[in-house]
Structure 1
């Protein structure tokens, strides 16, 4: 895999990860309610759940490429369409205000928090769809094993998510109720990022096949 594409993937992934999503809000809720330890355990659980989707996606994308490169191209362009859909949906969705968006999480044992965090992420089809839409845009069948490239990107994404989510957990535990998330700004930034990624992918995909 081209190192320039890996760096582009890292930059794009970091940009997307710093915008708080549902998983981050859940992690923040745990940290605010039960402290830093509970928040960090939630981070590990979400990472484990995400890893399951990475392995499943690697198997699925590899199987698609074995069918034909045309099928792989179709998957990539369907990914572009899905990213545009996510961007438009985010841009036009009504924004709810600040800390009221952070769910109230009942106090639970650390083991239960880890198990539930992982299970929620595994059972979230949006995570699987996002990985299948996002990762193939940076994969080139001519660069070697597609499943290997998918796993590499997945490992990078999970590692970056661990750092990003962990920082949110620590920050939330430190400032508690004073943390505020501007939902309107969040929606706009996230929406434009999805659309920009989709536009880039539409022009770059053909050259990478």
Structure 2
């Protein structure tokens, strides 16, 4: 483990994206527990991409235009679905006093899908992880798994922090209907913008 890896990972994790947006939305409208649950879901969504990178399957997305396009547009469609639900006062920005167990499962499922349906993550990890593994590393697989575990831990901690910070101002937000309405519109627009950005993404 190197300082360079930790610093690079932290910068990558704290950069706002779909996962951060989803976690903030959960914390703002459903409280700290939902924010942490959302962070957990988003972290789980990273696992398939890291597994693909470690096993070399990400190379398929890099070389196969069809595979990349299929996953990309599935991700775009899901982000637009999230935007639609947000504007209809459902999904991530549905205000509830308490999160029931079944609802928590839904929060996790949405968080997982937000990250799974982003093919750029597989390609990113395919390019990112090998930079921190020596060419002649005798246990390269174990090393990459170790780095992946650290990255996931950082992701969860940072995302949970986002969710808890959002939850800290939750009462001030939901007690003002106009603020909540504009916040909902803002998150909806952000999901649409991220969808458009993903749609324009090339391999």
Q: TM-score by structure 2 length?
A: 0.60
The answer to whether residue 110 in structure 2 is matched with residue 116 in structure 1 is: yes
Question: What is the rounded CA distance, in whole Å, between the counterparts of 1:125 and 1:119 in structure 2?
Answer: 12
Q: Deviations over 1:39-97 (max 9, x none)?
A: 11111111111122112211117x98xxxxxxxxxx9xxxxxxxxxxxxxxxxxxxxxx
Partner of 1:146: 140
- CA separation in 2, counterparts of 1:121 and 1:35? 22
Corresponding residue of 1:162: 156
Q: Confirm or deny that 1:29 pairs with 2:25.
A: yes
Q: How does 1:1-209 map to 2 (within 5 A)?
A: 3=1, 6-60=2-56, 105-107=92-94, 109-176=103-170, 177=173
CA deviation profile, 1:80-115 (whole Å, cap 9, x unmatched): xxxxxxxxxxxxxxxxxxxxxxx6624381111111
Query: Unpaired segments of 5 or more residues in structure 1?
Result: 65-74, 76-102, 184-209
Contact 1:57/1:128 (<8 A) preserved: yes
Give me the whole-angstrom Cα distance separating, in 2, the residues matched to 1:162 and 1:9.
17
Distance 1:145 1:56 in 2: 18
State whether residues 18 and 115 of structure 2, in contact with CA within 8 Å, keep that contact through their aligned partners in structure 1. Answer: no
Native 8 Å contact 1:39 1:169 kept in 2: yes
Gaps of at least 5 residues in structure 2 are: 63-85, 174-178, 184-189, 191-203
Count of residue pairs brought into register by the alignment: 139
Q: CA deviation at 1:21?
A: 1.9
**Runs ≥4 residues deviating over 3 A:** 176-179
- Matched residues in 1 for 2:128 and 2:111: separation? 23
Compute the displacement of 1:34 (Å). Answer: 1.2
- The two structures, once aligned, show a CA RMSD in angstroms of 2.8
CA contact (8 A) 1:46 1:117 kept: yes
| CA distance in 2 between partners of 1:163 and 1:113 (Å) | 17
Counterparts of 2:32 and 2:53 in 1: how far apart (Å)? 31
Q: Identify the residue that residue 90 of structure 1 maps to in structure 2.
A: none
